[in-house]
Structure 1
């Protein structure tokens, strides 16, 4: 089977995970205020998680005889995660709310991957997306808890 739609959604993930890594870097670099000492190093963990997902998605795409985006131009031309200039004026809460918004987008993208891989009977890509969606939903829960909010996963 060719897995055409699965390869397309996996490449979308490549672009979006690359952008998400930069969003987390930006949060890491531009945060100031109460909670900094705990949250700043936590962003390293978040970046490593996203970078790991990016690598696995890219390798799965290659396994399906696809070609992952591999230039900054391809990433910026294809990502659907908004590009925002770094800003020291944002509160830590505002930075975290931006992370949640983008994590929610990734959870929806992984759901799309689950659905498409299921339709094309690619159980390996489907399973990959299920695992990553689970991890992303956990991040949403944790960041929302830091913000004093419920996870609101179905939002």
Structure 2
């Protein structure tokens, strides 16, 4: 029979694994947004170039905040490209995307991350970890808005 302490450690490990997946996701997203920022072309260049820059700065902020939360809790965030690529649930940019495909790819990424953040929010709540829960809710709220705006841009909303 597991003790309360081992059950708590098991739950916390699951939460830190969930947070680490988001460290990996935001690392990939940050690079993908840089890629799109550098290589976007076409009639919407000026709009998307600026938007992608805004988003890679936000992704970097989320990445740092999640990693620092993990460190504050005694967990170790992934910090190598090998680990990041093993853990991420996002796909890297291919280099062949046009502007519309870039936007669709990001909308899909935001949806994926939001789904995973919802799972993380539930885990944080189970662990009575309100600061982590609040952090993840804040990030999800921002990404949901970005996803909605990209869907509207694409004419899908």
In 1, the alpha carbon distance for the partners of 2:90 and 2:126 equals 25
SS in 2 for 1:83: coil
In 1, the alpha carbon distance for the partners of 2:116 and 2:144 equals 12
Q: Counterpart of 2:117?
A: 110
Asked if the contact 2:110–2:146 (Cα under 8 Å) also holds between the matched residues in 1, the reply is yes
Structure 2: any 5+ residue segments left out of the alignment? 1-7
Q: Counterpart of 2:4?
A: none
Asked if 1:98 is matched to 2:105, the reply is yes
Q: Counterpart of 1:42?
A: 51
Task: Name which one, 1 or 2, has greater alpha-carbon Rg.
Answer: 2
Asked if the contact 2:35–2:93 (Cα under 8 Å) also holds between the matched residues in 1, the reply is no
Report how many residues are paired.
Answer: 148
Q: Counterpart of 1:153?
A: none
- The partner residue of 1:75 within 84, 87, 92 is 84
Q: Counterpart of 1:139?
A: 146
Q: Counterpart of 2:75?
A: 66
In 1, the alpha carbon distance for the partners of 2:50 and 2:91 equals 24
Asked if 1:13 is matched to 2:22, the reply is yes
Q: Counterpart of 2:129?
A: 122
Structure 1: any 5+ residue segments left out of the alignment? 151-155
In 1, the alpha carbon distance for the partners of 2:112 and 2:19 equals 14
After superposition, what is the alpha-carbon deviation per residue over 1:35-73, rounded to whole angstroms, capped at 9, x for unaligned? 101210211100011110000000000011000011111
What do you get for the CA RMSD once the two structures are aligned? 1.2
Give 4+ residue runs of structure 1 displaced > 3 Å after superposition.
none
> Which structure has greater helix proportion?
2
| TM-score using structure 2 length | 0.89
Deviates more, 1:107-116 or 1:26-35: 26-35
Q: Counterpart of 1:32?
A: 41
